[in-house]
Amino acid sequence: MKTSLRILLICSSFIALNSSCSPVIQRGFTKHSCRELTIIPVFPDEFEKALYKVEIALNKKNLTGLAMIKKMKETNSFRMVFMSETGLKYFDFEFINNDSFQQHYVMEALNRKGLIRTLTTDLGLLISSKGKGKVLKCYHSENPSEGLIIKEKHRGRNHYYFKDRNGGPNKIYRKACFSPATTVEIKYDSKRIPSNIIFTHGIINFKLELKLLTE
């Protein structure tokens, strides 16, 4: 338990120290005009809840746990609870589609601003508001099989990579000044539920992975 907490605290320190403001290059993609541009969300409309195994790797240290992600129909929000494999709760966050956020619980030992800010910013990338009311730009690949990128300017710049325009994003890249770059890689199962989600952070040797658990 103490080792797990120490890993997360060290991680938050690395994130705070390795900030940069470098630009993103859409290599191999050119800007196009796209009508009625929307961002298809990571979680489909029919999603209800899912349980994930969580793996955190920092340098040569590893931490495992569980994450329950549930769609709250009453408030049109997503509740994300992270816990140890024995059920000890670490975090309890709620993300609402209008970009608001509520912190229900954080273990006192982990209540560090840098860590909470990075986790909530990362996880918030999974809860898209479909780009309504935001500045969106469209980029097509020179290779049609590689799909397109939708660039969203919102608290920085978010790039959503789509191989299949009828499906969710396969990759998300976020960059903002004074914040570490974040890359999210996403795979889906046959029901279009995210089955594997991997977060990595620029030059920081830190990785967060969520693997869908099925019965």
User: Using an 8 Å Cβ cutoff, are 105 and 89 in contact?
Assistant: yes
Q: Domain 2-212 falls in which CATH fold?
A: outer membrane lipoprotein receptor (LolB), chain A (2.50.20)
Q: With a cut of 70, say whether residue 18 has pLDDT above it.
A: no
For 65-90, what is the mean pLDDT? 93
Structure-model confidence comparison of residues 55 and 9, the more confident one: 55
Using pLDDT thresholds of 50, 70 and 90, give the confidence band for residue 55.
Answer: very high
* pLDDT at residue 97 tops 80: no
Q: With 80 as the cut, is the pLDDT of residue 109 above it?
A: yes
What's the mean pLDDT in 134-153? 81
Cα gap 199→172, rounded to integer Å: 9
Interacting residues of 26 by C-beta distance below 8 A, sequence separation 6+: 139, 149, 151, 159
pLDDT digit string, tens, across residues 176-215: 776 668 999 999 999 999 999 999 987 677 789 999 998 6
Higher-pLDDT residue of 109, 18 = 109
- Closest by Cα among 202, 203, 160 to 185: 160
pLDDT at residue 96, rounded to an integer = 86
Q: What is the mean pLDDT of the chain?
A: 81
Has residue 134 got a pLDDT over 80? no
Answer yes or no: is pLDDT of 19 > 50.
no
CA distances from 190 to 50, 164, 206 (A): 14, 14, 29
Question: Sorting pLDDT into bands at 50, 70 and 90, what band is 14?
Answer: very low
Write down the H helix ranges in 130-204.
none
pLDDT at 42 over 80: yes
Residue 105 reports pLDDT greater than 90:
yes
pLDDT in tens, 111-129: 888 778 888 888 999 987 6
Structure-token match 């990362």, residue found: 122
Name the most confidently modeled range: 21-25, 141-145, 195-199: 195-199
**Which tokens go with 3?**
């080792």
Query: Among 41-45, 162-166, 200-204, which is the least confidently predicted range?
Result: 200-204
Which is more confidently placed, 80 or 142?
Answer: 80
Q: What is the pLDDT of residue 86?
A: 92
